[in-house]
Amino acid sequence: SYELTQPPSVSVSPGQTASITCSGDKLGDKYACWYQQKPGQSPVLVIYQDSKRPSGIPERFSGSNSGNTATLTISATQSTDEADYYCQAWDTSTVVFGGGTKLTVL
Amino acid sequence: EVQLVESGGGLVQPGGSLKLSCTPSGFTFSDSAMHWVRQASGKGLEWVGRIRSKANNYATAYGASVKGRFTISRDDSKNTAYLQMNSLKTEDTAVYYCTRLWANWNAFDIWGQGTMVTVSS
C-alpha cells in the first residue's frame, strides 16, 4: 500500500520560515494536499493541488511537490500557526494521509 | 453557512454495531462525494471510506482496516450520509469525521466537527 512519511515534529522561531516535508514514492506524479489541525478542532485545508491556497488561507502558506517529496512552507511563522499538519494524496481511488507533523513555534 | 454535522457516536461493546450520520447544509449534497475519516486519540488521520454521487453510481470504497465491517451509504432525499459500523473492535475507538470532497480541487474542503466512538467493555 502507498505510504506518506512526515517528520513527527518541526520547530521554528516566530517570524522565521518553517518547512514540513512529505515523502512518498513518485509523489510528484500525484497531487498533494495539506491540512492544518489545531488541538480539539477539525482539520482545515490549507493547500490543494500541490500549491494552491483556498480562500481565507494566508499567503504565507505555500506548497510544492516534485520527485518524491511535497513540501509545505510557512513564511513569517506566527504563534497561531502552531498545529499539526497532515499531507494527503491519492493512491488510485483511495486516500492516503501522512502521519502528521507537529509544528511548534517557539 | 456551509457545514457538516455528524451524530450517532457513543459507547459500544466490542463486537457491537453503531451507525453514524452526517448532515450537510449550505451546499448541494447530492452532487458531492462524501468521505469518512477517523482519528484515534493522539494519533493521525486515517481514511475510512467514501461514497460517490448518484452520477457516479453511489460507488463506495473502504480502507483496509474497516473493509468488510463498515458500510457507507447515503440518502439524498434526506441530505444525509451514513457510516454503519459492525463487528466493532477496541481499535476502532476514535473521533469520526465526515468530509466533503470538492471535486474541482480533489481535496477535502469541508469537515464536520466529529463524533466520538468508544469501543469498550
Q: Report residue A93's pLDDT band, with 50, 70 and 90 as the boundaries.
A: confident
CB contacts of B45 in chain A (<8 Å) are: 35, 37, 43, 86, 88, 97, 100
How far is B64 from chain A, CA to nearest CA, in Å?
A: 10
CB contacts of A97 in chain B (<8 Å) are: 37, 44-47
Phi, psi of B76 (to 5 degrees): -65, -25
What is the pLDDT averaged over residues B30-45? 96
Q: Report residue A2's pLDDT band, with 50, 70 and 90 as the boundaries.
A: very high
Share of chain A above pLDDT 90, in %: 97
CA distances from B121 to A27, B10, B20, B83, B100 (A): 42, 13, 20, 22, 33
What is the pLDDT averaged over residues B19-30? 93
Q: Give the per-residue pLDDT at B103.
A: 86
Tell me how far the alpha carbon of residue A31 is from its chain's centroid. Answer: 12
CB contacts of A100 in chain B (<8 Å) are: 44-45
Q: Give the per-residue pLDDT at B1.
A: 87
Interface size between A and B, measured as CB pairs under 8 A: 59
Say yes or no for a CB contact (<8 Å) between A88 and B64.
Answer: no
* The three cell numbers locating residue A23: 515523502
Share of chain A above pLDDT 70, in %: 100
How far is A97 from chain B, CA to nearest CA, in Å?
A: 6
A48 and A31 in contact (C-beta within 8 Å)? yes
Check CB contact of B5 with chain A, cutoff 8 Å.
no
B74-89: per-residue pLDDT in tens? Answer: 999 999 999 999 999 9
Using CA atoms, how far apart are residues A97 and B12, in angstroms rounded to an integer?
27
Q: Give the per-residue pLDDT at B28.
A: 85
